[in-house]
Chain A
Amino acid sequence: MFQLEFMRNAFVASTFIALTCGVVGVFVIARNLSFLAHTLSEIGFAGASFGVFTGLAPLDGMLFFTMISAVAVGEMATEQSRREAAIAAISSLFMGLGILFLSLANKSASYATNILFGSIIGISVQEVWQLVVLSIIMLIVMFFAYRYLVFDSFDSVGARVQRLPKHLLSILFLLLLAISVSIGAQIVGSLLVFVLLTLPASSARYLVHTVPRMILVSVILALAGVWGGLVLGYYTNWPVTFFIATIEVVIYLGTLLWDRRATGD
């Protein structure tokens, strides 16, 4: 299967996607941001179709939309309940906008399907490079912010007491999340990037109990999903995304059962 160039591209791209989503996902779960990750992927859909409409690359359109929204959310009401309601409203608006841009751009429905549910055939060498560079930049930023991000994410109260720059950390993390959503969407699609950002990390928290180990397990589970998905997709001709989602869900349910048994209830 590696004779085919698009398979090689898809393999490299999804490896880096799994790496970044696996790392970022640990913080998404700790900060309780699954819901926002979902919304950002819908915003990403609007961004991609905006890109198509204006002639930008879909990835650039996505980055543009999600990063602006991330900063906006960071500046918005801090109260959790109100924030979620506002986010839900905004996401409906963006889904609508995405469909509008696509129809204005005169693209067929299959194009929308590609953006929403991903496509492994569409990705070019140049896009792979862009994605790899973005991932590496993200990982470097996370390296330098690591201890502060970990403290703020796993013990918000303690971080405030130690006067960590919470607002700055929150904006920084939302930007990292926006970038992961945008690059993840290239393979698994904007609707299912959510899967890679939440399930591997959710599984990891039941299996191991330090942050470095959670990151390691989360990345391994994300890799298992995308690699497994690509191989199975190649041999069956079924959508890769279907396999990725299925693998991650099965692992997640498995860890839930395992944890039940381990704690005896």
Chain B
Amino acid sequence: MATDKPLLQGQDLAMTFADRPIFSHVNFTIPRGAMISLVGANGSGKTTLTRILLNVLKPTTGKVLTSAGEQRLRVGYVPQFRNLDRDYPLSAEAFVQLNQLSHFWPWHTTKEKRQLHDILKETRLTKLAKTPLGMTSGGEKQRAYLAQALVNDPELLILDEPTASLDVAVKHELIGLVRQLNQQRGLTVLFVTHDLPMAREYTDRYLLLQNGQMTSGNAAALTDEMITD
């Protein structure tokens, strides 16, 4: 499904935090329509790299090119940490709506309502639409985060270790759903994880951060020895 022109390209990226190098000489391409995993041990710089791709962090050197030149892509992001406590009041629906920013006036347009309806259906949240998010399970919360990231139709979806706190069945349900969106509507996905079996099962290719360097290959070829904590 991937077409020739890459959606996103990292060129010679390096990141150093206060004299502590995290990685350097990082080169990679993310083809349009692909589902790619970004793997590596804890602290190897996976989140740092995604923050650079999101443009919230400036790399020490190097640059990120998109299919539209230097222009920014619309990116949907499911962050690694987002603790909503039990008292969190917004319903799943209201939480997803937060990311609808195409207008500033308080009420939502018919088009926005339709987009909301569609994404809730795709992420199987329709039944939970009115339930306060504080009262839902971990897997349901992750689906709401996913829906919020997708509601304004991004070109790239980045998931940062979304399965870390989920049990096995829920984890497969979530990433299976993402894979389905990837295959059905050609959504480009970067799946950050240190769960190698998940990466092997659901992604096409991998990017591996190890000892400050990046390597890549077919996800099927990932082996446990490749990550040493």
Contacts and interface: CB of A to CB of B under 8 A. Distances in A.
Interface of A: 143-148, 150-151, 154-155, 157-163, 205-206, 208-212, 214, 263
B91 A146 contact: no
B94 interface: yes
A148 to B, nearest CB: 7
Given A154-B90, A209-B94, A209-B130, A148 B101 contact: yes
B82 A154 contact: no
Contacts of B79: 157-158, 161
B135 interface: yes
B90 A211 contact: yes
A146 B104 contact: yes
Contacts of A210: 90-91, 93-94
Interface in B53-78: 54-56, 75, 77
A208 to B, nearest CB: 8
Interface string B95-116: 1001111011110000000000
B130 A147 contact: no
A163 B99 contact: no
B4 interface: no
Contacts of A205: 87, 89
Contacts of A147: 100-101, 103-106
Contact of A155 (B95, B101, B131): B95
B130 A162 contact: no
Interface bracket on B: 20 to 34
Contacts of A148: 101, 104
Contacts of A158: 79, 82, 98-99, 148
B51 to A, nearest CB: 9
A145 B148 CA distance: 20
Contact of B56 (A150, A151, A154, A163): A163
Given A151-B99, A161-B54, A211 B104 contact: no
Contacts of A209: 89-91, 94, 130-132
B81 interface: yes
Contact of B82 (A157, A162, A206, A208): A157
22 contacts: A143-B106, A144-B104, A146-B104, A146-B105, A147-B103, A147-B104, A148-B101, A148-B104, A151-B98, A157-B81, A157-B82, A158-B82, A158-B99, A159-B98, A160-B56, A205-B87, A206-B89, A208-B89, A209-B90, A209-B91, A210-B90, A210-B91
